[in-house]
Structure 1
Amino acid sequence: MKKVMMTSIATAMIASALAAHAAQTSQPVPRGIVAVRADGDVNALIEGVNKAFHDFKAEHTKQLDEIKKGNADALQALKVDNINADIAKLQAAVDAANEKIVAAQMNSATGALKDKEYTEAFSAHFKRGDVQAALNKGTASEGGFLAPVEWDRTITDRLVVLSPMRGLCAGQTISTAGFSKLFGSRGTTSGWVGETDPRPETNTSTFGMLTYNTGELYANPAATQQMLDDSAVNLEAWLAGEVETEFALQEGVAFLTGNGTNKPNGLLTYITGGSNAAAHPWGDIKTVKSGAAASLTADGLIDLVYELPGEYTGNARATMNRNTQKAVRKLKDGEGNYLWQPSFQAGEPATMLGYGITEIAGMPDIAANSKPIVFGDFKRGYLIVDRVGVRVLRDPYTKKPYIYFYTTKRVGGGLLNPDVFKALTVAA
């Protein structure tokens, strides 16, 4: 019952938001969403996606037939593009509903604070600057004014939802400035011998090391003292919301394209030809050509999936941006089956050749020599490193009457295993 209620609330919020957007922009709500009432659930959205995709397949087939006959129809092409855009909006609504369900489950696991004394002490310091011993509870060696344990945990949970890479990749919490990992070269050899044959020495594996350094991510929201004095809202939740949005935006970019200078080393930098292509002891992330100089092909995507060894495909998925997903949606295999398929149940993503798709806005667009799709097992392939603790420093002096809440978190990231990824490069 609780899960159904959270699902209904999430779906209603999305339907309301889309309707409001339509009213402001004078654009119609996509087909399938109009049927979602405030008391509906995510299944109605999924039905809308599947109906729109059925219409898309029919109209796209007509368009291709007319092109083969030499009768390209601009109106037919526009109709297909409009339906395609509707599918994108509907699928995005499904994905957003799934994220809201996850967020609701995270935030409603228990109504009680895990560290009530510490949270109350932080609230007192937040409003008035009162210093209490409990502010350093559990972290006396670090000193400073720290965010309460519950507040810190809430931000971390929400970042998993807001930042797609955090939801996909492995995580490691550290208590020092950096984290180093050893990688064996797999150089051990063996041989077959007879009973009395000599046993010469065989090769032994060597080791390489990769260090995952952290950079400092910060936010500096402000509020007036009167707002803090008079506010009846949950000020900790307000600050957490401010921070999580900014942190998720910055992290999402860095985990993909970060150059390692005061930030993580981004996944895309480890692909062949990237700035970190030679950084990992096991080499770089290999590429597969799309099959066309400036576009995607069905054969190229099939090659991408099957170039990844079978032992790494169990939890594999494809990451791409929305424009790329729009192009993938139009591709068919040799038997006329579409490579893209919509979600069929709540909590499940759209798929490409049977593997889940995660939409990440920071992925490159389709263009000559770009790498718009990465396919693989992200849990085994990329590591996100978090330095313990979110720090909050209350600053009432810099700009009176505003109180600044200088919030920092040290984050790093880098490649774990290049073998579990393949990247699609747009090339003939």
Structure 2
Amino acid sequence: MQNFNLPRALRGAVRAEETPQQLFAQINGAIGDLRQRHDDNISDVREHVDNLTTAMNAMQGQIDGGIKPSGGSMIAVDADYTKTFASFIRKGDGEGKLSELQGAGDRAAIQAALSVGSDTNGGYLAPVEWDRQISKEQVSTSPMRKLAKVVTTSVGAFSTLWEIGNPASGWVGETAARPQTTTPQFASITFASGEIYANPAATQRILDDAAIDIGKWLVDALRVEFNRQENIAFLSGDGVNKPSGLLTYITGGANDGTHPGGNLTVVDEAIAVDALIDFMYGLGAPYRQNATWVMSSLTAAALTRLKDADGNLIWRESLIVGQPATLLGRPVEIDEGMPGPTAGNIAIAFGDFRAGYLVNDRYSSLRLLRDPFTNKPYVHFYATKRAGGGVLDPNAIRLLRIPV
């Protein structure tokens, strides 16, 4: 028995001391075991292949049923109509089972749209894919939040101190007396936050069934609307349950005399090169080095045509994407909330807005409450936002008004 060259897989399954008949039976049994293991492995492989095939068929079914990739994301299409159309095209009017279509109503609608000899009624000639996003008019936003100093608070208001006057001083001799000098006084400036609210509603059914995310759309729409409202207030708000607007700190304005440092300087000048130069240099040097022009598009259109004595345009468009144009060397920000270049309007603001205007943001100011209980079957989205603002330093900003 020791002279047998058995396969390696069988060497441990037989014993050499057995008779040839016993050894042959043992070899047959070992071969049967190997065959069984081989069949089991093949069965496992087939099961894995079947599972993979099932998964691929499911994915193909999802694609055929109405999920198409678009821009890297999966977007649902009109699955019911696409299936009905495909079945109709494949099988025709009298072929196939009626159950494979979506019903007699759908079939009749397709047949009506595919009128023989009519080019104008082919509304169902092909399934259409429609955008699951909502397009709307672009809303311009104010640069005030970008230009101004923004302070975030955990309470409803922000206060700071304004220094009135400077301590007196004087030159003295070595042994001369040093009498007491005057002491500056302090006044408090408070920037209270106002509250904007909205309470739109949608039915629960449209939230469940809509192809777009209605909830996310509502939140985004509210955010845009709240930004629009606060940007208006940053320019013209009267300070009652809203920010105090920049243009209200003038004689006769809603915030006339409310700042301990006085009102903003208003210069009545026509839009001309020499007038703009005088207006710009009328701002103190500490503020002028960080100053920005703020105006509407209509005012900007008038300024782009102005030339100096040498015939050069004083307006310079930026050659770098994202960088603002410049006027007399200083950047320009377009704010459509600013009045246009009409007689009597304050058309231009110029100054260091970070030093001159403050925005007070309440911490986590935008809040949203989803209310499905108050007015069933409607779901209300009660949203609030708290923000305040006002002039911080009236010496940092100047206003140009078009003469009447």
Shorter-chain TM-score bucket reads 0.5 to 0.7
Matched, 1:300 2:275: yes
Partner of 1:221 in structure 2?
Answer: 200
Q: How far apart in 2 are the matches of 1:194 and 1:164?
A: 53
Partner of 2:265 in structure 1?
Answer: 286
Q: Is the 8 A contact 1:272 1:286 kept in 2?
A: no
User: Structure 2 counterpart of 1:367, which letter?
Assistant: T
Matched, 1:204 2:183: yes
Q: Is the 8 A contact 1:219 1:246 kept in 2?
A: no
Q: How far apart in 2 are the matches of 1:264 and 1:384?
A: 8
Correspondent of 2:380 among 375, 398, 404:
404
Matched, 1:413 2:392: no
Q: Is the 8 A contact 1:289 1:300 kept in 2?
A: no
Matched, 1:191 2:170: yes
Unmatched 5+ stretches in structure 2:
1-139
Which structure shows the higher strand fraction? 2
Q: How far apart in 2 are the matches of 1:413 and 1:263?
A: 8
Partner of 1:368 in structure 2?
Answer: 343
Matched, 1:318 2:300: no
Per the normalisation by structure 2, the TM-score is 0.62
Q: How does 1:225-304 map to 2 (within 5 A)?
A: 225-231=204-210, 233-234=212-213, 237-290=216-269, 292=270, 296-304=271-279
Partner of 2:111 in structure 1?
Answer: none
Matched, 1:380 2:380: no
Q: Is the 8 A contact 1:370 1:425 kept in 2?
A: yes
User: Structure 2 counterpart of 1:374, which letter?
Assistant: A
SS at match of 2:395: helix
After TM superposition, give the deviation of residue 229 of structure 1 in Å.
Answer: 2.7
SS at match of 2:226: helix
Q: How far apart in 2 are the matches of 1:327 and 1:399?
A: 52
Partner of 2:67 in structure 1?
Answer: none
SS at match of 1:203: coil
Q: How far apart in 1 are the matches of 2:290 and 2:198?
A: 34
Q: How does 1:81-92 map to 2 (within 5 A)?
A: none
Q: How far apart in 2 are the matches of 1:378 and 1:272?
A: 20
Partner of 2:27 in structure 1?
Answer: none
After TM superposition, give the deviation of residue 207 of structure 1 in Å.
Answer: 0.3
Whichever of the two has the greater Rg, that structure is 2
Distance 1:176 1:277, change over 3 A: same
After TM superposition, give the deviation of residue 405 of structure 1 in Å.
Answer: 0.7
User: Structure 2 counterpart of 1:376, which letter?
Assistant: G
Q: How far apart in 2 are the matches of 1:384 and 1:282?
A: 18
Partner of 1:182 in structure 2?
Answer: 161
Partner of 1:356 in structure 2?
Answer: 331
Q: How far apart in 2 are the matches of 1:228 and 1:178?
A: 37
Q: Is the 8 A contact 2:207 2:215 kept in 1?
A: no
Q: How far apart in 2 are the matches of 1:222 and 1:167?
A: 32
Partner of 1:126 in structure 2?
Answer: none
After TM superposition, give the deviation of residue 206 of structure 1 in Å.
Answer: 0.4
SS at match of 1:372: strand
The C-alpha deviation readout for 1:94-153, integer Å capped at 9, x for no partner, is xxxxxxxxxxxxxxxxxxxxxxxxxxxxxxxxxxxxxxxxxxxxxxxxxxxxxxxxxxxx
The C-alpha deviation readout for 1:199-256, integer Å capped at 9, x for no partner, is 1110111001111111111122322212333456556642331111111111111000
User: Structure 1 counterpart of 2:236, which letter?
Assistant: T
Partner of 1:32 in structure 2?
Answer: none
Q: How far apart in 1 are the matches of 2:206 and 2:189?
A: 47
Alignment RMSD (CA, Å): 2.0
User: Structure 1 counterpart of 2:174, which letter?
Assistant: E
Q: Is the 8 A contact 1:271 1:423 kept in 2?
A: no
User: Structure 1 counterpart of 2:266, which letter?
Assistant: T
Q: Is the 8 A contact 2:141 2:335 kept in 1?
A: no
The C-alpha deviation readout for 1:166-224, integer Å capped at 9, x for no partner, is 12211111112211111111321111111221111101110011111111111223222
Q: Is the 8 A contact 1:266 1:414 kept in 2?
A: yes
Distance 1:168 1:236, change over 3 A: farther
Count of aligned residue pairs for this structure pair: 265
Q: Is the 8 A contact 2:197 2:382 kept in 1?
A: yes
Q: Is the 8 A contact 1:221 1:242 kept in 2?
A: no
Q: How far apart in 2 are the matches of 1:247 and 1:282?
A: 31
User: Structure 2 counterpart of 1:300, which letter?
Assistant: A
Q: How far apart in 2 are the matches of 1:253 and 1:337?
A: 35
Partner of 1:343 in structure 2?
Answer: 318
Q: How does 1:60-139 map to 2 (within 5 A)?
A: none
Which structure shows the higher helix fraction? 1
Unmatched 5+ stretches in structure 1:
1-160
User: Structure 1 counterpart of 2:275, which letter?
Assistant: G
Q: Is the 8 A contact 1:172 1:384 kept in 2?
A: yes
User: Structure 1 counterpart of 2:199, which letter?
Assistant: N
Q: Is the 8 A contact 2:350 2:397 kept in 1?
A: yes
Per the normalisation by structure 1, the TM-score is 0.59
User: Structure 2 counterpart of 1:393, which letter?
Assistant: L
Q: How far apart in 2 are the matches of 1:162 and 1:422?
A: 22
SS at match of 1:197: coil
Q: How far apart in 2 are the matches of 1:221 and 1:351?
A: 42
Q: How far apart in 2 are the matches of 1:260 and 1:329?
A: 34
Q: How far apart in 2 are the matches of 1:399 and 1:306?
A: 60
Q: How far apart in 2 are the matches of 1:423 and 1:278?
A: 16
User: Structure 2 counterpart of 1:427, which letter?
Assistant: P
Instruction: State the identity as a percent.
Output: 47
User: Structure 2 counterpart of 1:299, which letter?
Assistant: D
